[in-house]
Amino acid sequence: MKFGSGARRQAQRGGFVLGMIVGLLVGLAIALGVALYIAKVPVPFMDKVGHRTPEQEAQEAEKLKTWDPNAGLAGKQAPRPVPAASEAGSAPLPYVGGASSPVPVAVVGKPASAAKAASAAAPAEAKSKRDPAAILSGAPVPNHADKPAEPAAAGADPFVYFVQAGAYSSANDAEQQRARLAMQGLVAKVSEREQAGRNVYRVRLGPFDSRDEAERQQDRLKGAGMDSALVRVERSKAQP
């Protein structure tokens, strides 16, 4: 009985190993078949692109050498060139009048040097108005505040206006305030006046012919963080 059971176990082990070997062989055969199938089947989106021959590549390179990107614009009219200054100066002068008595009319252009001088003078003048060194040195600065008060015309405002940026008991303090205004590009004057038995040094901008002009300067001081007061004086008694 023992011998029969041992033979049966060996037969079972031999059948299991044989089945495993057969399964592996079948799996390898299936994998090999799938690999061959994938290698022979065309890949989508890749085989649709045709392969160029060397002759086609040479023809394409020759076309690219002679290709003109602006060929489509050849039918459009080219812009007319602008005549140079020398050509414009040599053009014939226009005539005004009838055919019997033509009168030449000369076209006088502004010289280039004069135009350059005018353009250079404008920034220089604007700079001088805002140059703190020129303001503090007392150099003549073109400013409407330097104009003396003119007599009132008929219907004009009988008053002139000042913007007072401070009143100090010390001349040194008044000059410091004047320097701060000069840093803002504003021309101010320091005037001395006796008040209540002591000298007061006033820092004022002006005179201004209109209240609106004075208020604009006052708004400018306010924007710079400086307090000020609007002072109205009769035109005949106007003093800084």
Q: What is the mean pLDDT of residues 180-198?
A: 91
For the cut 60, the answer to whether the pLDDT of residue 213 exceeds it is yes
For the cut 50, the answer to whether the pLDDT of residue 123 exceeds it is yes
What H or E segment, with its residue span, contains residue 213? Answer: helix 211-223
Say if 217 falls within a structural domain.
yes
pLDDT tier, 203 (very low <50, low <70, confident <90, very high otherwise): very high
pLDDT > 90: percent of the chain: 32
For the cut 50, the answer to whether the pLDDT of residue 10 exceeds it is yes
User: Is cis: bond before 151, omega within 30 of 0?
Assistant: no
**Whole-number pLDDT of residue 162:** 95
For the cut 80, the answer to whether the pLDDT of residue 217 exceeds it is yes
Say if 212 falls within a structural domain.
yes
Chain mean pLDDT for the chain = 73
**Whole-number pLDDT of residue 107:** 45
**Whole-number pLDDT of residue 214:** 94
For the cut 70, the answer to whether the pLDDT of residue 51 exceeds it is no
Comparing 36-40, 104-108, 161-165, 234-238, the range with the smallest average pLDDT is 104-108
Q: Could you list the residue range(s) of the whole structural domain that residue 182 is in?
A: 159-237
Sheet with 189-195, strands from edge to edge, namely 189-195, 198-208, 159-168, 229-234
Say if 174 falls within a structural domain.
yes
Q: The whole model's pTM is what?
A: 0.41
What CATH number does the domain containing 172 carry? 3.30.70.1070
Say if 187 falls within a structural domain.
yes
Say if 80 falls within a structural domain.
no
Say if 184 falls within a structural domain.
yes
Say if 138 falls within a structural domain.
no
Burial class (CB in 10 A: 0-12, 13-18, 19+), 71: exposed
Cβ neighbour number for residue 202 with a 10 Å cutoff: 21
Say if 201 falls within a structural domain.
yes
Number of compact structural domains in the chain: 1
**Whole-number pLDDT of residue 53:** 82
User: Which residue in this structure is represented by tokens 């176990």?
Assistant: 9
Q: What is the mean pLDDT of residues 220-234?
A: 92
Comparing 33-42, 64-73, 146-155, 180-189, the range with the smallest average pLDDT is 146-155
Residue 221 to residue 216: CA distance in whole angstroms: 9
Q: Which residue has the higher pLDDT, 119 or 191?
A: 191
